[in-house]
Amino acid sequence: MSERRFDLPNIDSASFQQPDPGRLVAADRATHPPRILLLYGSLRERSYSRLLAEEAARLLRALGAETRLFQPSGLPLVDDASDAHPKVRELHDLVQWSEGMVWSSPERHGAMTGLMKTQIDWIPLSVGAIRPTQGKTLAVMQVCGGSQSFNAVNQMRLLGRWMRMLTIPNQSSVPKAYQEFDEPGRMKPSPYYDRVVDVMEELMKFTLLTRDIAPYLVDRYSERKEDAEAASRRVDQASL
């Protein structure tokens, strides 16, 4: 008897659930185009992170998505304004609308730009009982002024994980970005462009696969246990 007890995990059996394969297939699949929000990290007149995001948006629309591109000019620093600021409200509304995101940043001083981080920092982790980013898909891209590096995309991956997003495996880093776009601002054909196509195609696939079952994918034992304990405390208090 004692050996069997030590073989069992030390869990709250009421909150513990084995994965149910049946719940990985949505009964009613959404038919509307996937809704993708794109953020970019530079306000320069010829911003290559914006041009890359615009190219990604063209690809996403060709793949069947609906896209919105947030224009961050005028967005205040975090804590320097309230959530009622028009640009903050605009960003929050777009995040709520989206089912997936693309983050495109230049690399500056070996990191994403402050503007990129400001946009991400304005996105709340929770609004009431709703977590605006949890379970949504994310693709990360960066542009480089010189040789190829991955510092910005690696940072954005950390943030995506922190915000409980489903960050896809593929990513794009465009070196010497000034050579990769023509005068009107379109990305030239190249292996780097092909990688962007790969990333957007993968984002679409992951979004279509997960958007209907995202609540189940991010349903956690620890949170079910906390909810059950909170409900028990409310019952106990009501009985006093």
93 three-class SS: helix
What residues contact 161, with CB distance under 8 A and at least 6 apart?
167
Per DSSP, helices labelled H in 63-190 are 86-97, 114-122, 151-162
Entry pTM: 0.87
Structure tokens at 70: 């947030």
pLDDT for the residue numbered 29: 86
CA pair distance 195, 201, nearest whole angstrom: 10
Q: Does the pLDDT of residue 238 top 60, yes or no?
A: yes
Segment 179-230, tens digit of pLDDT? 999 999 999 999 999 999 999 999 999 999 999 988 888 888 888 898 888 8
Please, which pLDDT band fits residue 237 given cuts at 50, 70 and 90? Answer: confident
- 3-state secondary structure (DSSP) of residue 56: helix
| Alpha-carbon dihedral sign for residues 225, 25, 38, 116 | positive
Per-residue confidence (pLDDT) for residue 14, from 0 to 100: 83
Interval 1-25: pLDDT, tens: 455 566 778 788 888 888 777 777 7
Q: Quick: pLDDT tens for 115-168.
A: 999 999 999 876 665 678 999 999 999 999 999 999 999 999 999 999 999 999
